[in-house]
């Protein structure tokens, strides 16, 4: 009985010893596997460096020339044609080699047509991709002034364009000029507001590469009419000035109140302006509209007739020069005769040196000969001789 117990104890000891040996061997094997696994993996993780990407310029308009290079690519590999992309579209047209150090040699490329703003640039050698960004900028134009009249000359200044190129500057789809920006991408030209201009007009610029500038709004100033002075006694010389009308157009229906003011041959100039002088007629005291019509557009302003409450005696010192008094009918005037103190005096517009009548005096009568129907202040004259009181 005792011998049997001893044998069992010895067996247990051998079993425990064997188990320790198996455990040690198992731990050893696991450690070796982990060590070799780390040695095999670590070189790959060390070599997996991020590829570098370089553009000589990172922004500019369409057509900008840039130098592109990249490192950290697959050594000895080739970047096939169309494997460099700009905004997802193929950029390079030929295959490009990668040297033994993994660098793609610098190559020149031209920025293609793409949206304004940031655009992704990708170099793909089949194993590794290098990624960068190029920002397309929009060229600019400045117009001065941005309000004015037809036939006015504007200055258009451009900046941020690409050279060489040709920029077309257009006024409302009609009047246009072509200009070549300088080496810095700038230009300056003059543009004339056409006779076809509307109240609101768009001035735009676009080059032959694909760039375009922001649109600029040009506004026509409204037409206007004014008199100087704005009030006076009957007979006062008044200058009527208009602006902003249709250029090179006859001024019609010049009037004060209900009285037509003769203005033969009066036309607007190239900017739509005109100036005309007439004498204030003998109308009731108060405000009267003064108007004119050009190409169907009528404008009015106001002139106030003043009446003096002081009687002015009839003396030669109060005379109005004949040229001033009869300026409104100068195109029709043939001759004027006046009689005072048993003496006749004559005015002939074709013979100013031989004239004895130099002025018209208020309260006296005169004979005036004209060639056609016309109106002198408030008097309607007929062809031939007309007797009037001044």
Q: What is the pLDDT of residues 191-208, one digit of tens each?
A: 999 989 999 999 999 999
Q: What's the whole-number mean pLDDT along residues 40-64?
A: 74
Domain residue ranges of the chain, discontinuous segments joined by +: 52-136, 140-220, 224-305, 316-389
Q: What's the whole-number mean pLDDT along residues 243-257?
A: 94
Q: Give me the CATH topology for the region 140-220.
A: Immunoglobulin-like (2.60.40)
**pLDDT tens, position by position, 320-359:** 888 888 888 989 999 999 888 878 899 998 887 888 998 8
Domain spanning 224-305: CATH superfamily:
Macroglobulin (MG2) domain (2.60.40.1930)
Q: Is-contact 56 67, C-beta < 8 A?
A: yes
Average pLDDT taken over every residue of the chain: 85
Distance, CA of 369 to CA of 252 (rounded, Å): 25
Whole-number Cα distances in Å, 244 to 21, 252, 262? 112, 15, 22
Nearest to 149 by CA among 247, 59, 75: 247
Q: Is-contact 275 237, C-beta < 8 A?
A: no
376 pLDDT more than 90: no
Residues 6+ apart with CB under 8 A from 160: 61, 137, 138, 139, 140, 185
264 pLDDT more than 60: yes
**pLDDT tens, position by position, 147-175:** 999 999 999 999 999 999 999 999 997 78
Distance, CA of 294 to CA of 303 (rounded, Å): 20
Domains 140-220 and 224-305 share a fold: yes
Query: Strand, helix or coil at 4?
Result: helix
Which tokens sit at 138? 């929009």
Confidence of residue 29 (pLDDT cuts 50, 70, 90): very low
Classify burial at 373, counting beta carbons within 10 Å of its beta carbon; exposed 0-12, middle 13-18, buried 19 or more. Answer: exposed
Confidence of residue 118 (pLDDT cuts 50, 70, 90): very high
Query: Strand, helix or coil at 322?
Result: helix
C-alpha angle 162-165-167 in degrees, rounded to nearest 5? 95
Q: What pTM, to 2 d.p., does this model score?
A: 0.62
Domain 52-136: which CATH number of 2.60.40.230, 2.102.10.10, 2.30.42.10, 3.60.20.30: 2.60.40.230
Confidence of residue 18 (pLDDT cuts 50, 70, 90): low
């Amino acid at each position: 009985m005792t011998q049997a117990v001893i044998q069992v104890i010895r067996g247990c000891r051998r079993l425990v010893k064997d188990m320790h040996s198996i455990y040690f061997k198992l731990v050893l094997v696991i450690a070796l596997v982990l060590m070799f696994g780390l040695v095999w993996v670590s070189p790959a993780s060390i070599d997996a460096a991020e590829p570098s990407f370089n553009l000589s310029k990172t922004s500019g308009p369409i057509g900008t020339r840039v130098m592109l290079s990249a490192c950290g690519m697959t050594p000895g590999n080739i970047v096939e044609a169309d494997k460099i992309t700009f905004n997802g579209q193929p950029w390079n047209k030929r295959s490009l080699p990668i040297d033994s150090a993994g660098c793609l040699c610098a190559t020149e490329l031209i920025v293609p047509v793409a949206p304004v703003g940031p655009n992704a640039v990708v170099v793909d050698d089949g194993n590794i991709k290098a990624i960068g960004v190029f920002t397309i900028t929009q060229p600019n134009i400045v117009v001065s002034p941005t309000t004015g009249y037809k036939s006015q000359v504007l200055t258009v200044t451009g900046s941020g364009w690409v050279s060489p190129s040709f920029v077309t500057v257009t006024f409302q789809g009609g009047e246009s000029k072509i200009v070549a920006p300088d080496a810095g991408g700038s230009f300056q030209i003059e543009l004339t507001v056409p006779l076809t201009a509307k109240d609101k007009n768009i001035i735009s610029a676009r080059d032959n590469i694909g760039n375009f500038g922001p649109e600029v709004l040009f506004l026509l100033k409204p037409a206007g009419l004014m008199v100087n002075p704005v009030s006076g006694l009957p007979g006062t010389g008044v200058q009527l000035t208009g602006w902003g009308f249709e250029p090179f157009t006859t001024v019609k229906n010049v009037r004060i109140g209900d009285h037509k003011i003769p203005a033969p041959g009066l036309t607007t100039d190239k900017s739509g302006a005109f100036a005309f002088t007439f004498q204030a007629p003998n109308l009731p005291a108060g405000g009267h509209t003064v108007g004119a019509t050009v190409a169907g557009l009528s404008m009015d302003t106001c002139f106030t007739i003043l009446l003096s409450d002081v009687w002015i005696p009839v003396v030669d010192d109060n005379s109005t020069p004949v040229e001033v008094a009869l300026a409104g009918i100068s195109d029709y005037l043939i001759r004027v005769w006046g009689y005072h103190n048993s003496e006749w005096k004559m005015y002939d517009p074709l013979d100013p040196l031989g004239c004895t009548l130099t002025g018209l005096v208020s309260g006296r009568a005169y004979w005036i000969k004209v060639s056609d129907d016309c109106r002198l202040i408030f008097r309607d004259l007929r062809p031939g001789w007309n007797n009037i009181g001044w």
